[in-house]
Amino acid sequence: MLNETLCGRAVILLFGAIALSAHSLPSARADVSKGPCTVTKLVDVPAKMRDGITLLADVYRPVEAGSYPVILMRSPYDKTIAQTYVYASPEFYASHCYIVAVQDVRGQYASQGTFYAFRDEMNDGYDSVEWAAALSGSNGKVGMYGFFLCRCDAMAGGRDAAASPRGDRPGDDVFRLL
């Protein structure tokens, strides 16, 4: 019984020491300072899929004239959030002179259709990459980002789009491709 009490106290002290040392470490947050481009946001930009269903995206773009690479996120989690709990905001990437399109997948939030995980992702992903490449101001290069289902969407779209120079391929770093 005495050993269990001492062991329990030692564990508590160890976790307390770890917490204190972690608290004193410098922040691991990335520098999210704005880039050189001024950003405008377009809401609910339609993308027509091959079967006639319309998917909606919020598009963040530099105001400055020019052609820019596109970063595409296809999300079942609500395009207005854009996974900002993990990634920097779309405004941040757009301020660094990218066009950023965050699209609700089929049947989720603002997009039409019925959501059925992974059933339509290859066709919708391919069509969305082609749509993104054709956006006004795009230079034709499209990379995709996101995690969990967003990353699976990117992989499904990228698998079919791998023959096209526009899509990323599973495991590729989106910013290296652009």
Q: What are 108-166's pLDDT values in tens digits?
A: 999 999 999 888 988 998 999 999 999 999 999 998 888 766 555 555 555 444 444 45
- For residue 2, give the DSSP letter: H
- For residue 17, give the DSSP letter: H
Range 61-98 burial, b when 16+ CB lie within 10 A, else e: bbeeeeebbbbbbbbbbebeebbeeebbbbbbbbbbbb
Which residues have C-beta within 8 Å of that of residue 173, sequence separation ≥ 6?
none
158 is a domain residue: yes
Q: Which domain holds residue 82?
A: 39-177
10 is a domain residue: no
Taking only the tens place, the pLDDT of each residue in 86-111 is: 889 999 999 999 999 999 999 999 99
Report how far residue 42's alpha carbon sits from residue 21's, in angstroms, rounded to the nearest whole number: 44
28 is a domain residue: no
Instruction: Give me the pLDDT at residue 83, please.
Output: 86
CATH of the domain at 87: 3.40.50.1820
Separation of CA 148 from chain center: 10
Nearest-5° angle of CA 128, CA 142, CA 159? 65
Arithmetic mean of pLDDT, 30-41: 83
The answer to whether 37 and 97 are in contact (CB under 8 A) is: yes
- Residue 173: half-sphere exposure toward Cβ, Cα within 13 Å: 2
Inter-CA distances, 35 with 7, 13, 39, 93, 131, Å: 52, 44, 10, 8, 26
Domain count within the chain = 1
Task: Supply the mean pLDDT for the chain.
Answer: 77
